Amino acid sequence: MKNETFSTHVITPEQMLEHWQGHRNLTRRVIEAFPGDSLFTHTIGGMRPFSEMAVELIQVAGPGISAIVSGQWKEFGDMSDFKAETSPKTKDELLALWDRVTEHINELWPKISEERFQQKEIAFGQYEGEIWSHLCYFIDNEIHHRGQAYVYLRDLGVEPPFFWER
């Protein structure tokens, strides 16, 4: 047998970005689906309005991708790099901030070396793990909150976007 060099990737960085952005695209469509001011007001069982959950996702993804590239993690919720209002008052403001973070991810992603994904760091001063595991958490957290939004939308009589259409 010939000694061949091969990659041990299960998923390439490009595929990981496509997967993450697929989820972000779906979550954006969920935000769009909320009628009227229900994005900011509707709750069930003591859960937060989805607007607050979406802001949390923004506060994870935007500063998170910056930290993955720079190695400099700030405290959770620090949006100073974006000079952004983290309490959007309208759906349009929330979507604009969501889109800024999406563009930010796309701009920074190519700067992540393959070796970087295996490095261990403490994210947001609290969570130790490899960079790949932090990215998986970003996605898992988004899926979790999007599931809550699906419950809200159904309670409001709105059919949510199909979860498989990313």
What is the structure's pLDDT at 62? Answer: 94
Residue 76: band (very low, low, confident or very high) from pLDDT cuts 50, 70, 90: confident
pLDDT digits (tens, 9 = 90+) for 83-103: 666 688 999 999 999 999 999
Q: On the CB side of 135, how many CA atoms lie within 13 Å of its CA?
A: 25
What whole-number distance in Å separates Cα of residue 108 and Cα of residue 127? 22
Q: Flag whether pLDDT at 159 surpasses 80.
A: yes
pTM of the model: 0.89
What is the structure's pLDDT at 154? Answer: 97
Q: Which residue has the tokens 């259409």?
A: 165
Least confident of 20-24, 82-86, 128-132: 82-86
Give Cβ neighbours of residue 110 (< 8 Å, ≥ 6 apart).
none
Q: Which residue has the tokens 């937060």?
A: 48
